[in-house]
């Protein structure tokens, strides 16, 4: 009986460790730009689908669907878990803004265009928040 209890405890521990890596719930996603010669802005996509903006541009859109918000949150969490990291791209002019994405207390910032995974993710967030359907 002790062996069975020990195996159950080990299995539960292993399952909990594996589960912590996978996105399990939608989290607010914050993205925007800072630095450089442009005014900074920040957009937040809440799990409810509510969109909040600070700075410019100020779009007319105020919501995306809950499903879209959850999908974007999982996409960002997966990219972060997959190793997306902050970078300062070589040769980037200091006048160029840095883009950032934040989820679950972690922020990735890229200054320049040398990180195509970040650029694609940032563009998808911007499209959803500013012009896309969802």
| Rounded distance between C-alpha atoms, residue 46 and residue 69, angstroms | 7
Report the percentage of the chain scoring pLDDT > 70.
Answer: 80
Give the separation between CA 116 and CA 42, rounded to whole angstroms: 21
CA atoms of 68 and 25, how far apart (whole Å): 13
CB-based contacts of 75, cutoff 8 Å, min separation 6: 121, 124
Domain spanning 25-131, CATH class: alpha beta
| Model confidence pLDDT, tens digit, residues 71-92 | 999 999 999 999 999 999 999 9
> What is the rounded distance in angstroms from the CA atom of residue 31 to the CA atom of residue 99?
7
Of the pLDDT bands very low, low, confident and very high (cuts 50, 70, 90), residue 9 is: very low
For the entire predicted model, the pTM comes to: 0.79
**Could you give phi then psi for residue 131, rounded to 5 degrees?**
-135, -20
* Domain limits, the chain: 25-131
**Residue 102, strand partner residues:** 30, 107
Q: Over the stretch 23-42, which tens digit does the pLDDT of each residue have?
A: 568 899 999 999 988 889 99
């Amino acid at each position: 009986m002790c062996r069975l209890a020990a195996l159950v405890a080990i299995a539960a521990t292993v399952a909990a460790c594996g589960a912590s890596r996978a996105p399990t719930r939608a989290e607010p996603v914050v993205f925007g730009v800072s630095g450089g010669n442009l005014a900074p802005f920040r957009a937040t996509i809440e799990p409810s689908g509510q969109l909040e903006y600070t700075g410019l541009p100020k779009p007319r859109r105020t919501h995306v669907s809950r499903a879209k918000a959850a999908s974007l949150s999982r996409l960002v969490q997966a990219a972060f878990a997959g190793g997306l990291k902050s970078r300062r791209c070589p040769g980037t002019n200091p006048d160029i803004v840095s883009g950032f994405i934040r989820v679950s207390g972690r922020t990735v910032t890229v200054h320049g265009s040398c990180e195509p995974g970040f650029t694609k993710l940032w563009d998808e967030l911007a499209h959803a928040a500013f012009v896309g359907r969802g």
